[in-house]
Chains A and B, each alone.
Chain A
């Protein structure tokens, strides 16, 4: 047989024969590359002490980072806030406008557009916020805490609080937004 001759193989199926030709080298190389890749991958991923995070771990890590960032933001803002500064905000028109906008997209569903927790005389699910009565504390920082984390899960005497009406808003509103809502609520208090 001549070198590099095109070989027609002997076997025949239903009269169909096939050539025995070389694969293009570049094609062959893709297989070699895959073999090398497999070894590298297998060693790195399964055998080496280097831990490569999977998607779930990466996601958990990112969520933890976001939560930590939120916590830090909350801490930073809380450090600048106190009852006096919130009261001061409640007299600042720009904060009030922002607070009003948030209140009238999120809070008014349960607390009413006029904070009375009623709609055309019918009772809404929330507590009225314009009646000087505060179930979970009426100091500005206490209101801030109630909106951020929801009503306390336990009464002061340690028994579970059965009426867990409101959700914790820290997943939907940033600390500064919550502060603006508090300012808006404070501004609406009867004097």
Chain B
């Protein structure tokens, strides 16, 4: 069976004429593959389970597009909290930078959903139906017989089912489970939008996992493309110990290095590279070549680790350095993002009071008083009835507040609007002042404060006007 020899000048999975060279990675067993599979299965379980686990009356992760509410592990965010996403993503982004600077593309090989679904779902299906790499290669080159057609139909049928299932899992993050179940039992034409999304996703997933595969990681994925800027000679990557391995030779040859040129590392590689050519951008850090090589080393009774996790410096026999300026920088940036998010999360209250001036005139002057009109919106994100107990502070004597009568309840996850006005008699008015609105929120027992300026004319002018009036009154009564 002839397989392509990887080189550094062109991408193995693309033929010279531009067509896609289908890579059939060989089976591999070993400690890294085992743990990778455990992580993959756990991650799939987590992806599927998150919308099913209720926390505080809502799914653990649920982006409720219909009601524009985002439930995230017991916290509920409204669209107005979206700015927190900046810190979430910068924190996560720098966390990824950090992991990359330390361990290279460990994310890609172990935890990326694309790899997880490809390696632990679709490649497993293919392995069961089409057999091992040699059988798959034979089948690919075989003429279209009845048996091959049946196999292909079965394989792609199961692929489509799996893609449909994953698409539904994805949609369940945005549409509640009972609603999704309802959609599934109704005609697709009743919910064209949701059905269209599901159909598009199914198609995209099927295309990616059945045919596109490593092309995405090598060519499309932006994270994959910025790797080279994030790693350096001290980053722990999967590498081949050239000093130990070269020159390659027979296992019983005393003068050759440890590499017996068995090509197992090439056969198991899902992106079709030869790791012995050094660190390459196609490498997704899956560790299959490590397991393959270790097995061979055991067989030829040589120490393991000819291909191992190590830094470029370490592989060259130099000093290994873990802490370096890049790590400090990424740690700092990660802590900044995560820290700011944690700070704001801790201050985020499940209720909100907003006071605004009513549109129109800033204040109203009547014969006896100055009046300001405000619009107050009480919002609760709680899934239970919430009581607001409001007191207005900072008022001068004789001021009256209308529209706010003590405490009232707001239905779960909704808002009510109140129009209030505050009136200060001309006599007690001493100029503009700040009103403090204090709302004690139950349950939860916390206080929300909001303030706004009470506006009015200059008390000097007002008093002068009053005096003038008084004088005019006196004069007229004199006459």
Instruction: List residues of A whose CB falls within 8 A of some B CB.
Output: 4-6, 19, 21-28, 105-106, 108-109, 113, 119-125
Contact = CB atoms under 8 A, between A and B. Distances in A.
A122 B20 contact: no
Given A26-B215, A119-B400, A109 B368 contact: no
Interface of B: 9-10, 14-20, 212, 215, 219, 358, 364, 366-369, 371, 373, 400, 402-403, 417-419, 421, 423, 425
B10 A19 contact: yes
Given A19-B10, A119-B402, A105 B419 contact: yes
B16 A19 contact: no
Residue with the highest number of chain B CB atoms closer than 10 Å, among A6, A26, A27, A106:
A26
A23 B14 CA distance: 9
Given A21-B16, A26-B215, A124-B366, 9 more contacts: A4-B16, A25-B18, A27-B219, A109-B419, A119-B400, A122-B366, A122-B368, A123-B366, A123-B367
B12 to A, nearest CB: 12
B368 A121 contact: yes
Contacts of B371: 119, 122, 124
A24 B421 contact: no
A4 B418 contact: no
A26 to B, nearest CB: 7
A26 B421 contact: no
Contacts of A108: 402-403, 419
Contacts of A121: 368
A123 B9 CA distance: 87
Nearest to A28: B18
A148 B367 CA distance: 30
A23 B18 contact: yes
Contacts of B219: 24, 27
22 contacts: A4-B16, A5-B16, A6-B9, A6-B16, A21-B16, A22-B14, A22-B18, A23-B18, A24-B14, A24-B219, A25-B18, A26-B20, A27-B219, A28-B18, A108-B403, A109-B358, A119-B369, A119-B421, A120-B423, A122-B371, A122-B423, A125-B364
Contact of B10 (A21, A26, A119): A21
A19 B425 CA distance: 86
A61 B309 CA distance: 63
B18 A113 contact: no
Contacts of B400: 119-120
A26 B212 contact: yes
Contacts of B403: 108-109
Contacts of B367: 122-123
Nearest to A112: B402
A25 B16 CA distance: 10
Contacts of B368: 121-122
A173 to B, nearest CB: 13
A106 B421 contact: no
Contacts of B364: 125
A109 B420 CA distance: 7
A96 to B, nearest CB: 19
Nearest to B9: A6
A5 B17 CA distance: 10
B414 to A, nearest CB: 14
A170 B371 CA distance: 27
Contacts of A6: 9-10, 16
A24 B215 CA distance: 9
Contacts of A21: 10, 16
A124 B15 CA distance: 83
Contacts of B212: 26
Contact of A25 (B19, B373, B419, B423): B19
A5 B14 CA distance: 13
